[in-house]
Each structure stands twice: as structure tokens, then as C-alpha cells.
A and B are shown apart, each in its own frame.
Chain A
Amino acid sequence: QKEVEQNSGPLSVPEGAIASLNCTYSDRGSQSFFWYRQYSGKSPELIMSIYSNGDKEDGRFTAQLNKASQYVSLLIRDSQPSDSATYLCAAENYGGSQGNLIFGKGTKLSVKP
């Protein structure tokens, strides 16, 4: 069973700090990775995608991918209370002719003013 694992949290950080969210995946064949943010009672929204080893930066967000370690992370710099949400990590993999998108159960982030 292919899995994506995340620490459920809650992860609590003070405003202005760096929040570090981590994710591991079991399928070495996964090629594409995604971070979604979901506010309570709302639908998920994509904040970052990453396909190659290394770092990818977008504003205050940096996604990091290490395929050898099967590890994906999301760093949020200068965390704001508005970043308080559940962050979902997802990995895409293909088995046979069709692909699947597997999500972790999410890490709840709380940013304290």
C-alpha cells in the first residue's frame, strides 16, 4: 500500500518564525509532489508543487525534495497567523496505465501572534 506520512501536529510556532512541515512517501516511483493548504471548513488549495530534487521557492514558501530519502518538506518563513491551517502533502504515482494522487493526513499548523 503506497503511503504518504505526515506528523499530524499540531505544530505551533510564534508569529515571524519559520514553520517546517515534513512528509515522507513510500513509493520510489513517485515523480510529482504537492503541498495543499486547507483552512478549517474550507476546500484545499494548492500552494506548491515540486518535481526535481532540491529547493523551490515561492514568496515565503520553500518546498524541498529529496528523492533518495523519499522526503518532502515545506518551509514557511515569517509565519503569520493567517498561515494557521492544515497542510496536506501529496505524491503522484503511476501503476500500470493510470495515475493516483496519494495524500498524507495533514499537519495542523498554528501560528501564535
Chain B
Amino acid sequence: KAGVTQTPRYLIKTRGQQVTLSCSPISGHRSVSWYQQTPGQGLQFLFEYFSETQRNKGNFPGRFSGRQFSNSRSEMNVSTLELGDSALYLCASSPGGITDTQYFGPGTRLTVL
């Protein structure tokens, strides 16, 4: 079974721009969660989508948004990028949700200049 894939793997943007990251879950998984990982703050939960609906949400500003398509693929968008948004963005998929066994993708490394 193919694992979780994320594209692109690396991205460089400048302040004020917006960015869209993509995540393809493991086949059959309906839940996709997004995380931000930085050296200072560690791993932080952004949000979870299940069957195209946002079901759970962490403490991030509205600049961070996401969506999920009918094939369970998910996108995350960050608008008006700030320097502090530089991070590794991970997505994880699971059959049932954030309390299930989640399988993480390799991540997208975003650098904001």
C-alpha cells in the first residue's frame, strides 16, 4: 500500500505571498490532519478533515485554512505569509481520525524570506 505523499517537498516564498500544500492520504483513509513542526514550538496540530468536513482544529489564525476533496486528498493554504510560518508542514492520514493510528507523510519544508 502506498504511503502518504506530500507535494511539494520544498518551497521558498516571500512574506505576504500565499502558499498551497497538497497531501494524498493512504488509500481508504478518510481522515487527513495537518501539523506544523518548528524547532521552537515543536509539533503543533493545525486541523483535521474527515469526509470533506473540518472536524477538529488547533489554535492557529485564520490565515491557515484547508480543504478536503471527495477522494480524501487534502490541501492546506496559508495566506499572507509571515517569517514565522517557516516550518515543516506534515500531514497524516488515518481511517478514523486523530485518535486512530495516524501515518505521517514526509512533509513540506516551507521557507519564508
Binding site for B on A (CB under 8 A): 32, 34, 36, 43-46, 49, 88, 90, 92, 98-106
For B98, give the chain A residue with the smallest CB separation: A101
Q: Are A98 and B55 neighbours in the complex by a CB distance under 8 Å?
A: yes
How many chain B residues touch the partner (CB < 8 A)?
Answer: 23
Q: Taking the complex as formed, is B25 at the interface, i.e. its CB lies under 8 A from any CB of chain A?
A: no
A43 touches B107 (CB 8 A): yes
Q: Is chain B's interface secondary structure helix, strand, loop, or mixed overall?
A: strand
Q: Which residues of B contact A98 (CB under 8 A)?
A: 54-57
Q: Which residues in B have some Cβ–Cβ distance to A below 8 Å? A: 33, 41-45, 48, 54-59, 90, 98-99, 101-107
Which A residues lie within 8 Å of B99 (CB)?
32, 34, 49, 92
- What 9 pairs between A and B have smallest CB-CB spacing? A43-B104, A105-B42, A99-B56, A101-B45, A103-B43, A32-B99, A98-B57, A98-B56, A101-B98
Knowing A43-B107, A98-B55 touch, does A103 contact B102 (C-beta < 8 A)? no
Q: Which residues of B contact A99 (CB under 8 A)?
A: 48, 55-56, 98
